Amino acid sequence: MSFSQQIHIINTIAIKNLRIKLRNYQTFLYSFGFPLLFTVLFYFIFKPITVASGGITVFDLAVSGMLIYSASFGTINAATSLTAEKERLTLTRLDTTPVGRAKIFIGTLLSESFFLIIQLILMFCISYGLLGAHWYDKNLYLLLLGFFIIYIFGISTLGIGIIISANAKSANAAVGFSMMYVMPILFLSGSMIPFENPIVYLCPPFWANQLYQQVVILGDDIWSDTLRLNAQNIINAKFSTLPLWGSFIVILIILFVTTFIGIKLFQRKTLNQ
């Protein structure tokens, strides 16, 4: 099979996944509906509360939490997509074609990352375009950088989804397991409600939230500045000695480690069964 044929197969898998996703109204509800609903609610509740000079409000800080919440649905999406493939036996049927598991994984990751882009564009448009959330100096480059940070974080959540799908027996179970992981991790990371506790460092969303808030809201330089480690008052926190880009490295490590473990587990649980 030629290289272009292989690319065509991966694209076909990704397009098929997107078609299935877009034809299920439940997908819209939990992937778009909930994050948008919470963003609008947070706007009405927190916009009037100013936390720093320059007019930064609680809502402006909460937007990053909402973006992370939205991106975390990558776990649920990847888990349900692959579990459904197992549950309806299409995975076994695909195994009798020359397609190979690698292309199935790449196609799935491709469709999920494309879906994530749609989700994030929508969230950025609503938060910054419509609700006027603050970002540093109205510098569009920083907003694009922020988009990229959340996007990479979103991709890093897919690996946990693959791990869940390796063990879940049904798509419904996959949603349940994913929620049991996503929601506690979001709260424990301090991304939704900031709190000071060493446990936050163990939760992946913390690193994405910290990086996003420092870069996009406070305008810190990703290459030269360091982390401001005070979750409850990031604006007035003193700079630590840890480089800010270190957060991005943590996200990348999580991405590669969870994806690797996920694929290994999934293969072990589903091949030759």
Partner 1 sequence: MIDLAIETSNLTKIYDQIVVVDHIEIYVKRGELVSILGPNGAGKTTLIKILTTVLKPDEGTALINGIDVLKEASAIKSIIGTVPQDYVFYEELSAEENLIFFGSMHGFPKKELELEAKKILKRLGLANRKDKTRNFSGGMKRRLNIAIALIMKPDILFLDEPSAGLDPQAKHVVWDYIKELKKGGKTIILTTHDMYEAEMLSDRVLIVNNGKILAEGAPETLKEKYSQRNILEVVFKQNDKANEFKSVIEPNSFIKQVLIEDDKKVNVYFDGGIISFIKILQEKAIKDVTELESMSLRQTTLEDVFLHLTGRRLRS
Residues that bind partner 1 in the complex, under the rule CB under 8 A:
1, 5, 8-9, 12, 16, 19-20, 23-24, 88-90, 92-100, 272-273
239 half-sphere exposure, CB direction, 13 A CA radius:
12
Radius of gyration over every alpha carbon of the chain, rounded to an integer in angstroms: 19
Q: Do the beta carbons of residue 85 and residue 192 sit within 8 Å?
A: no
Q: Compare residues 114 and 201 and give the one whose CB is closer to partner 1.
A: 114
Q: Compare residues 163 and 171 and give the one whose CB is closer to partner 1.
A: 171
> Judging by DSSP bridges, how do beta strands 239-243 and 56-57 pair with one another?
unpaired
CB atoms within 10 A of CB 238: 8
Minimum Å gap between C-beta 16 and partner 1 is 5
Minimum Å gap between C-beta 182 and partner 1 is 24
Q: Compare residues 13 and 186 and give the one whose CB is closer to partner 1.
A: 13
Minimum Å gap between C-beta 76 and partner 1 is 18
Minimum Å gap between C-beta 20 and partner 1 is 4
Minimum Å gap between C-beta 93 and partner 1 is 5
Minimum Å gap between C-beta 237 and partner 1 is 48
Q: Compare residues 25 and 141 and give the one whose CB is closer to partner 1.
A: 25
Q: Do the beta carbons of residue 173 and residue 192 sit within 8 Å?
A: no
Please tell me whether residue 135 adopts helix, strand or coil conformation: coil
CA–CA separation, 171 and 166 (whole Å): 11
CA–CA separation, 51 and 39 (whole Å): 18
CA distances from 12 to 85, 108, 212, 235, 254 (A): 15, 10, 34, 46, 28
Q: Compare residues 100 and 176 and give the one whose CB is closer to partner 1.
A: 100
H or E segment to which residue 95 belongs: helix 90-95
Minimum Å gap between C-beta 264 and partner 1 is 18
Q: Compare residues 4 and 241 and give the one whose CB is closer to partner 1.
A: 4
Q: Compare residues 16 and 47 and give the one whose CB is closer to partner 1.
A: 16
CA–CA separation, 224 and 206 (whole Å): 20
Which residue, among 164, 8, 204, 9, has the nearest Cα to 81 in the 3D structure? 164
Q: Compare residues 5 and 224 and give the one whose CB is closer to partner 1.
A: 5
Which residue, among 126, 153, 119, 137, has the nearest Cα to 217 in the 3D structure? 137
Minimum Å gap between C-beta 22 and partner 1 is 9
Q: Where are the beta strands (DSSP E) in 199-270?
A: 226-228, 239-243
